[in-house]
Amino acid sequence: MAAQHDLYGNPVSSDAAALPYLNDFAEGFAACDMRVLRLLEIAGQDDSPLVQIWSAALHLFAEDAQAAANARPFLQRARARQTHANARERLWLTAIEAWADGNTPSAAEQLEALVHHHPRDLAALKLAHYHAFNLGDSPAMLRMALTARPHCADVPYFHGLLAFAYEQCHLLRQAEGAARHAVYLRFKEPWAHHALAHVLLTEGRVNEGLDFMQSASASWSGLNSFMQTHNWWHLALFLMEDERYDEALQLHDSQVWGVVPAYSQDQIGSISLLARLELEGVNVGRRWQQLTPYLLQRQHDHVLPFLDLQYLYGLARAEQWDAAQQLLASMQRHADAQQHSQLRAIWQDVCLPAAQGVLAHAQGHYQQAARQLGPLIARLVEIGGSHAQRDLFTQLYWSALRHTGQWTALQNLVQPWSNQQPQSKRLARHMQRIYQGLGLPPSLADSEN
């Protein structure tokens, strides 16, 4: 069989008939595009290693308790054909097998090796970023992106990946430059839109963020449900900073929730946005109950601690108290069963205490919530999620402090954020309340003072 190469020049052992499907995955994965699913159309007939390996990866992205079992038949077929695989594909197989086994640190290590040997393997880089991100290892994201940079200058999707890696390392100037370059190369680059949204929100450029995301939103078509709903979620966050809560709630209903309601990322986008709106005093009605049938199926998933914490809060806000306690007990069993030392420490030392705090807040036990969440804020990076996503737990902590009248602690935490985001009407209003609680003039919250 003649050697084949994909659209980025990476070697593949499949025949020419499979190549268009592999290219759809390689480019579609980087582009957050639904084209990736076309690979499953040939997975039943084409037993070439990479077709089977990437089909397994698609199943693992379901992020549910059945994902690994659904992926294993594809991995078994790939393993049976490993003698026909090239060196790149064998690395891919090892990485996806580790992922299916729950050993995400090993999967991340194998994928980093892939990027080192094949720096134009954009699928490997994006999946490596996914795992490093979920392990809270943003420097690894940047290290891999910088390794690939000399080889990928022509690929807009690469610059979006680089931008997000910079942003997660708090290198905002570099992140903005990479994101804007990606958009210059290809305006429909939703991951670059996402990275730029992070930068603009962190720097408090609320008006600019609103304008940019609204202008980019017309291009968010044909995307996977995560990318589509998540970029609208980011737009809703800008609306919230501008205290346009009714509009944010409308975006929840029209764009954030209901695209693929059975999918993990759609669920946590809804949970996170509803929780933030409630913290600002918005009545979200029966929307928690709309989530309930889906969250009740999550009690034994434990794919990522970041996900479990939000499922727990969603169940509690829907007043599914027995289910919330069952999920918490199942999380404890999962933590105790962890074999990998890094993962065991994350679940036992960070996730479980945070879960107690999250549940306490949902129950209105604010003293306990403050005690549990306060010492963990600096370690929450270990559970995964972005700065913007984990900010939910910081806001729950602030809420607990406010409900228990701990105004001095709250002033020390919130004022620096308000200083960095002078356009945020939401933070300015919180600071007025804090200074009133301290017996100081609320006008001190005015950014011009």
The pLDDT score that the predictor gives to residue 2 is 54
Structure tokens at 149: 């940079």
pLDDT of residue 448 exceeding 90: no
Task: With CA atoms as reference, report the closest residue to 195 among 140, 150, 133.
Answer: 133
**pTM of the entire structure?**
0.96
| 370 touches 400 (CB < 8 A) | yes
Which residues 6+ apart lie within 8 Å of 165 measured at CB?
129, 138, 141, 142, 144, 145
Distance CA 99, CA 400 (A): 37
Which residues 6+ apart lie within 8 Å of 280 measured at CB?
240, 243, 245, 426
Average pLDDT over residues 264-289: 97
DSSP 33: B
Question: How far does Cα 123 stand from its chain's mean position?
Answer: 17
Distance CA 380, CA 370 (A): 15
pLDDT of residue 1 exceeding 80: no
pLDDT of residue 13 exceeding 90: yes
pLDDT digits (tens, 9 = 90+) for 394-420: 999 999 999 999 999 999 999 999 999
| 95 touches 110 (CB < 8 A) | yes
The pLDDT score that the predictor gives to residue 3 is 72
Which residues 6+ apart lie within 8 Å of 114 measured at CB?
88, 91, 92, 95, 121, 124, 128
pLDDT digits (tens, 9 = 90+) for 387-397: 999 999 999 99
Q: At residue 281, what are phi and psi to the nearest 5 degrees?
A: 90, 10
The pLDDT score that the predictor gives to residue 447 is 56
Average pLDDT over residues 364-370: 98
Task: With CA atoms as reference, report the closest residue to 317 among 356, 280, 287.
Answer: 287
Q: Where are the domains of the chain?
A: 1-137, 286-394, 405-449
**pLDDT band, residue 49 (cuts 50/70/90):** very high
Beta 11-12 vs 4-5: how paired, if at all? Answer: antiparallel
Structure tokens at 405: 């009248």
Cβ-based neighbour number of residue 412 at 10 Å:
10
Structure tokens at 319: 């007043």
Mean pLDDT of the chain: 96
Distance CA 5, CA 120 (A): 11
Distance CA 408, CA 401 (A): 9
DSSP 217: G
| 223 touches 188 (CB < 8 A) | no
The CA-atom distances, in angstroms, between 365 and each of 72, 357, 358, 394 are: 43, 9, 10, 16
pLDDT of residue 449 exceeding 50: no
pLDDT digits (tens, 9 = 90+) for 271-282: 999 999 999 999
Buried b (16+ CB within 10 A) or exposed e, 4-32: bebebebebbbeeebeebbbbbbbbbbbb
Distance CA 127, CA 107 (A): 9
| 191 touches 161 (CB < 8 A) | yes
As beta bridge partners, residue 223 has 33
DSSP 44: T
173 class by beta-carbon count within 10 Å (0-12 exposed, 13-18 middle, 19+ buried)? exposed
| Higher pLDDT among residues 449 and 270, named by residue | 270
Q: Compute the CA torsion angle 332, 336, 337, 341 (nearest 10 deg).
A: 120
| CATH topology (fold) of 1-137 | 1.25.40
